[in-house]
A and B are shown apart, each in its own frame.
Chain A
Amino acid sequence: MEETLTAAQRVALARQAQRPGICAFIDGLFTGFFEMKGDRLAGEDGAILGGVALYHGQPVTVIGTRKGRTVEENLHCRFGMPGPEGYRKALRLMKQAEKFGRPVITFIDTPGAYPGIAAEERGQGEAIACCLMEMSTLTVPVVSVVTGEGNSGGALALGVANRVLMLENAVYAILSPEGFASILWKDASRHEEACELMKLTAPDLMQLGVIDAIIQEPEGGAQRDAAAQIAMIDRALSAELHALRGMSGRELAAQRMEKFRRMGAPRPEADA
């Protein structure tokens, strides 16, 4: 582990354009991926990629945010910022996974949900809210991996999981440090200062009980050796799925709800 990195340095690493994304993970971890598009209501959103695949021979539903690698792809995916269609597609695929009794694996790497006129017109808030509520009730195992930056409700909408894992240099936060600084101090240029205060690194979040495990990265970061990174994710993911195998659907939903129920419950001394 690279203990010496500052939070701001990790934010920079998490945003590295060469960092492996959802497509690399699908290629490296699964076989027979079949992409499923559309929310069956209004549209298709490239910022979320999802479908069914085999993971060590077992069918699973895979869903993740997609940033794209080329400029064209970036624009098509709005740099990984989903709209309501994306979240409704994700929810559709999760309910489908529940119907067929297969685990859900999500990969999170997003600057946040897209802030736009059309997104608001079509109910960005409602779409995220429904993901949060429905995901909490799923009767199949759900494992989420935060692989890059996980910002705002737009990230959490794919993260209500039995187990939440995080790459060593990934960050997970209420919003981007720039947004945080601009809301709190009306000065986006103070983002480095915000990084340190926000407690957004994997070790910080582990301590706060927000995530369950940290997946190590290769020396220098995931972008240095994607194959090695994928092998590390594979080891963690298969162990987590294995551990959840003995639980019934009911137990899985109860464990997930209970886990989020405890988040930020006041400490006794604050209970005066």
Chain B
Amino acid sequence: MTHVFEKRRNRLRAMKELSESYLPPEQVITCPSCGQEVAREEVERALSVCPACGHHFPISGPARLRLVMDGAKYRELYRHVQAGNPLDFPGYDDKLRAAQEKTGLDEAVIVATGEIGGRRCVACVLDSRFMMGSMSAAVGEKLTLGIEYTVRRALPLIIFSASGGARMQEGILSLMQMAKTSAALAKLSQKGLLYISVLTDPTMGGVTASFASLGDVILAEPGALIGFAGPRVIEQTIGQSLPEGFQRAEFLMEHGFIDAIVPRSGLRDALAKLLMLHEGGTAWRKH
């Protein structure tokens, strides 16, 4: 009995979490995609998806973890790793503090371990509320620590990306995180471990050009903006406007860079299935 109550409580908490900071505060929301007016409550119930057109509103890192993890439970790892100000960039310390206060997070990524469909895994989630999920040295460090933890315990890894790309205020050190995370993933791959990359809105720049593109399996949420160069930069370079649907998840799948587009309501089941399909040894498996 208590189990049922706990389950319900967790579900309610998960729904509350889902709404944090992203949906406008009004009771009736105008969907930015279809323009329809929809009840906030209805959007929340649909896991922050517009019931009219299926537009996926962004969700926070904690909400994402609660959504996919069994019983909405997970244990956070490496929380203490925080950004410094390596270039002594003016105003950066204040910006960081503001982002920390706004989100209750220390950095733009959460590294966690938990179970999906009864199978233990490590999940890293970028949170776009924290300076657009941009890649700081601390984000790169936490991701790398997470990958190394995964390798030591021989677990599957899932990274949910949501990022505008590099953290400008950390300059070249932000850039170097691309090489650092990619090299860590090379080690994971050499061990024959599974890495599922889930691309959510938006996944851009240096994140696309490193760990986000290196999954054994790459999933995306419907309509997510995914690319290397930003749409505005491309428009300025080529001097023309971009075609409809350019750099959206559907566009990427058409061009061969994504295995499947998975709506949020099916994400947990899709991940559980993939973990199940990659579990266990065959005689030919590495290690």
Contacts and interface: CB of A to CB of B under 8 A. Distances in A.
Contacts of A119: 228-229
B80 A271 contact: yes
Interface in A67-117: 113-117
A160 to B, nearest CB: 5
Given A115-B229, A153-B209, A197-B90, A132 B179 contact: yes
Interface string A144-161: 000000001100110110
Interface string A11-51: 00000000000000000000000000000000000000000
A72 to B, nearest CB: 19
Given A125-B227, A133-B182, A197-B89, A263 B173 contact: yes
A55 interface: no
Given A128-B209, A129-B213, A271-B81, A263 B177 contact: yes
Contact of B184 (A199, A256, A261, A270): A261
A133 B80 contact: no
A74 B262 CA distance: 43
B60 interface: no
A202 to B, nearest CB: 12
Given A199-B87, A263-B176, A126 B229 contact: no
B105 to A, nearest CB: 15
B213 A264 contact: no
A18 B26 CA distance: 60
Contact of A156 (B87, B179, B233): B179
Interface in A122-173: 122-126, 128-130, 132-134, 136-137, 152-153, 156-157, 159-160, 172-173
B174 to A, nearest CB: 6
Contacts of A122: 255
Interface of A: 113-117, 119-126, 128-130, 132-134, 136-137, 152-153, 156-157, 159-160, 172-175, 179-180, 183-184, 197-200, 205, 208, 210, 256-257, 260-261, 263-267, 269-272
Interface of B: 80-84, 86-87, 89-90, 137-138, 140-141, 144, 166, 168-180, 182-187, 189-190, 205-206, 208-214, 227-230, 233-234, 237-238, 242-243, 246-247, 251, 255-257
